[in-house]
Amino acid sequence: AHGLHLGPVLARAPGSSIAPAPPQPTKGCASSVAMGAWCSCEETSRNIRQAQEDITTKGVGAVLEEAAGTLQEKVVQAAGSLEKFLDEAVAEAEKNQAVAEAEKGTKAAEEVAEKAAVQVVDATVEVAAAAVAAITGTMVVEFDSGNGTVKMVAFKTPQLGLALALSGGGCCSGGKAKVAVKSVDKKGQAETLGVHTSWKVMSINGTQVMGLDQAQKLLKDGVAKLPQA
């Protein structure tokens, strides 16, 4: 083999750094570069001699089998590392899922508490309406005037001056029909008290309205207790 001397071939750019060049081979010996690693002449010669000796003493088949065993060990090690990585990833995913479920449970608990609070408020309003009716000798009707605004109206005489009907619901609206004010008499008691058509009837004397027939009965019972004008 001809002697070979390799000098530095990379120019250094301003502000950059280059790793030191590998040791240069001496004249009269072979050199090689594989996978970024420099093999000296002595290492190459030693590896060749060792391979020749192994083949002579053990045979080609045995040498190849040993090489295959070494490769298998590396594959097993790599598989173990991969398995560990996957186990850690699964554990992290399960942890994140548990956190998400805990947060979901907290949110559900908050929703339940909020619903319970609304029910308590509604019950308190109904009790208050019943108390007002009993104390003042009036019939207290609670209306939803729209946008969640609640109006409490106290009727003092049997001549209410309004008519009720079912409103909404059906196959197109997708909701349950509610009892609402169908009409208001001109200069009647309801108009004087500020009642308007389309108002939804929520309760009568503290009893929640669930349907038209029930509402009509509640009105009848309430009117019976009112003094004549």
**Better-scored residue on pLDDT, 182 or 21:** 182
- Distances in whole angstroms, Cα of residue 116 to Cα of each of 111, 135, 203, 206: 9, 28, 19, 19
pLDDT of residue 134: 73
> Which tens digits make up the pLDDT trace of 176-190?
889 999 999 999 999
* Alpha-carbon gap, residue 68 to 159, rounded angstroms: 104
> Residues of 16-45 as b/e, b for ≥16 C-beta within 10 angstroms?
eeeeeeeeebeeeeebeeeeeeebbeeebe
Q: Give the range among 116-125, 127-136, 193-202 with minimum mean pLDDT.
A: 116-125
pLDDT at residue number 187? 94
Mean predicted lDDT score pLDDT of the chain: 75
Residue 59 has pLDDT above 50, yes or no: yes
Extract the tokens encoding 87.
């186990």
- The predicted model scores a pTM of 0.47
Q: CA 25, CA 32: separation in Å to the nearest integer?
A: 9
Helix (H) and strand (E) counts in the chain: 5, 8
Look at 55 and 113; give whichever has higher pLDDT.
Answer: 55
Residue, of 221 and 51, whose pLDDT is higher: 221
Q: Mean per-residue pLDDT for 16-37?
A: 47
Percent of all residues in the chain with a pLDDT value above 70, rounded to a whole number: 61
The closest alpha carbon to 181, from 220, 142, 148, belongs to 142
